[in-house]
């Protein structure tokens, strides 16, 4: 299909899901799209995320789904209206990738792998004319502002490449540069000072879906690091004094705690540490038993058995759970059956630091939605659009991160298309 887009060129900077989705939205009607990425190949973080099984989205109803985006629910909702979890699954089917819903409600490709999906997607993009430029690290514009002549704005972008610095001129640009987690895979936040130099507001980048330090004793680190604690429930009070409680599984590490349940609560824990320097969470080591039952079992006569054997036999508290009780409680407290029973249902664990942002699964912070229009265009940079994790939002693991990245990329791509049409291009 020929169009007056034939001479229009758009640069997409960043080859993750958001960038590739923007490229597809633009290439379909005939725009010349060039994707630039600093790494030797695209989708590296995407492929790494899929190594343990590619969790692409979630099957829960849209209302609770939207609730996973917390304070940014209102901004994410229009993106998912354009391309929600059902649309994502249909899109995958169009790529030849069948999906299924796991027991947790999470949605996976039938083969559980990310690589076949990415290969099929890249093939379709190349068939649509998308050109890929690897080892091209964006390092800003050639001038302090984009050039406007006769109401036509162009962007002159510079890239560090193996052949030296190159300049690219385009009619619009979509930035999908990621956050600051996993910098070895390309998400290194090198774009932050470049945007700041253009007076684009940036909310400070913070680790999300991350672990926390607890300053364990050498004994606990050496004997129990790497062991899961399950089932367990966490209670934490956020900075607004709201109490959050959730049950699942955590992982005891050499430095503290990680795991799916910690990630789900990480925003509350992180913000409390940022505000107060530390936070004490409460662990329920027997979430299936009421306090009265635990008290009854702990105080039950145990004969010659040790308290440790008694706890293991009566309520299944042993191994790493028992070690946590010994770690937190003094010998005197452990010997006090009333204190011990209370601790089993509400063990106070002090978390003192967030793990480094480079270790986090994702990041919060970035370019705020308030700096964008409804097309995802930066208000003060006509023709420049943003998508994906470089925006100021966060979500827990479980497919929510990827779904919003795909959706924001599609909306940014369509926004760039609308922008080009408004400036004279038409299909």
Same domain? For 307 and 161 the reply is no
Same domain? For 367 and 348 the reply is no
Same domain? For 39 and 104 the reply is yes
| β-strands 99-101, 212-213 pairing | unpaired
pLDDT in tens, the chain (427 residues): 344 556 799 999 999 999 999 999 999 999 999 999 999 999 999 998 877 789 999 999 999 999 999 999 999 999 999 999 999 999 999 999 999 999 999 999 999 999 999 999 999 999 999 999 999 999 999 864 444 443 457 899 999 999 999 999 999 999 999 999 989 988 999 999 999 999 999 999 999 999 999 999 999 999 999 999 999 999 999 999 999 999 999 999 999 999 999 999 999 999 999 999 999 999 999 999 999 999 999 999 988 899 999 999 999 999 999 999 999 999 999 999 999 999 999 999 999 999 999 999 999 999 999 999 999 999 999 999 999 999 999 999 999 999 999 999 999 999 999 999 998 765 4
Same domain? For 131 and 262 the reply is no
Same domain? For 113 and 43 the reply is yes
Which of 354, 383, 399 finishes a domain?
Answer: 354
| β-strands 279-284, 227-237 pairing | antiparallel
| β-strands 32-37, 9-13 pairing | parallel
The Cα 99–Cα 101 span in angstroms is 7
Same domain? For 44 and 192 the reply is yes
Which of 325, 354, 383 finishes a domain?
Answer: 354
In a domain, 228, yes or no: yes
Q: Considering its fold, how many domains does the chain have in total? A: 2
Specify the pLDDT at position 151.
43
Specify the pLDDT at position 4.
54
As a 3-state breakdown, the chain gives helix, strand, coil percent values, each rounded to 5, of 40, 25, 35
The Cα 44–Cα 187 span in angstroms is 10
The Cα 168–Cα 146 span in angstroms is 12
Specify the pLDDT at position 49.
81
DSSP state of 355: P
Which of 354, 386, 415 finishes a domain?
Answer: 354
The Cα 363–Cα 178 span in angstroms is 9
Specify the pLDDT at position 48.
87
In a domain, 36, yes or no: yes
Specify the pLDDT at position 303.
86
Tell me, what CATH number does 195's domain have? 3.50.50.60
The Cα 175–Cα 13 span in angstroms is 5
In a domain, 288, yes or no: yes
In a domain, 276, yes or no: yes
Same domain? For 119 and 155 the reply is yes
For residue 202, what are the domain limits?
8-206+361-425
Specify the pLDDT at position 149.
40
In a domain, 2, yes or no: no
In a domain, 1, yes or no: no
CA angle 274–46–372, rounded 5-degree value: 60
Closest CA to 174 of 368, 379, 36: 36
Specify the pLDDT at position 426.
54
Same domain? For 36 and 101 the reply is yes
Same domain? For 182 and 221 the reply is no
Same domain? For 274 and 328 the reply is yes
Do 153 and 378 form a contact (C-beta atoms < 8 A)?
no
Same domain? For 48 and 119 the reply is yes
Could you give the 3-state DSSP secondary structure of residue 278?
coil
Specify the pLDDT at position 360.
95
Same domain? For 55 and 24 the reply is yes
Closest CA to 372 of 403, 325, 408, 323: 408
Specify the pLDDT at position 302.
86
Dihedrals phi, psi of 203, to nearest 5 degrees: -75, 135
């Amino acid at each position: 299909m020929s169009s007056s887009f034939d001479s229009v060129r758009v640069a997409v900077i960043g080859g993750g899901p958001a960038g590739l989705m923007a490229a597809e939205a633009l290439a379909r009607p005939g725009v010349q799209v060039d994707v630039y990425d600093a790494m030797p190949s695209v989708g590296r973080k995407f492929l790494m995320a899929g190594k343990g099984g590619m969790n692409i989205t979630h099957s829960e109803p849209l209302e609770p789904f939207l609730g996973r985006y917390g304070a940014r629910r209102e901004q994410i909702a229009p993106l998912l209206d354009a391309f929600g979890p059902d649309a994502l699954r249909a899109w995958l089917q169009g790529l030849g990738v069948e999906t299924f819903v796991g027991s947790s409600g999470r949605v996976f490709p039938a083969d559980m792998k990310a690589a076949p999906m990415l290969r099929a997607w890249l093939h379709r993009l190349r068939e649509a004319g998308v050109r890929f430029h690897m080892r091209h690290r964006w390092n800003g514009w050639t001038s302090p502002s984009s050039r406007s002549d006769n109401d036509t704005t162009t962007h002159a972008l510079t890239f560090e490449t193996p052949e030296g610095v190159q300049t690219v001129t385009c009619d619009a640009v979509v930035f999908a540069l990621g956050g600051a987690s996993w910098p070895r895979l390309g998400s290194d936040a090198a774009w932050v000072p470049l945007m700041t130099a253009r007076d684009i507001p940036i909310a400070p980048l913070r680790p999300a879906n991350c672990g926390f330090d607890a300053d364990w004793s050498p004994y606990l680190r050496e004997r129990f690091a790497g062991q899961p604690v399950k089932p367990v429930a966490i209670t934490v009070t956020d900075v607004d004094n709201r109490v959050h409680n959730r049950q699942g599984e955590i992982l005891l590490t050499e430095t503290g705690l990680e795991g799916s349940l910690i990630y789900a609560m990480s925003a509350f824990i992180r913000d409390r540490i940022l505000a107060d320097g530390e936070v004490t969470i409460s662990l329920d080591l027997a979430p299936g038993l009421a306090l009265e039952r635990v008290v009854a079992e702990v105080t039950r006569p145990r004969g010659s058995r040790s308290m440790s054997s008694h706890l293991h036999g009566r309520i299944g508290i042993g191994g790493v759970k028992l070690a946590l009780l010994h770690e937190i409680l003094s010998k005197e407290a452990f010997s006090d059956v009333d204190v011990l029973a209370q601790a089993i249902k509400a063990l106070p664990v002090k978390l003192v630091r967030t793990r480094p942002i480079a270790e986090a699964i994702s990041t919060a912070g970035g370019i705020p939605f308030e700096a964008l229009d409804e097309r995802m265009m930066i208000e003060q940079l006509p023709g420049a659009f943003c998508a994906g994790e470089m925006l100021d939002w966060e979500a827990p693991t479980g497919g929510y991160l990827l779904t919003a990245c795909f959706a924001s990329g599609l909306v940014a791509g369509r926004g760039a298309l609308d922008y080009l049409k408004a400036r004279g291009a038409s299909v």
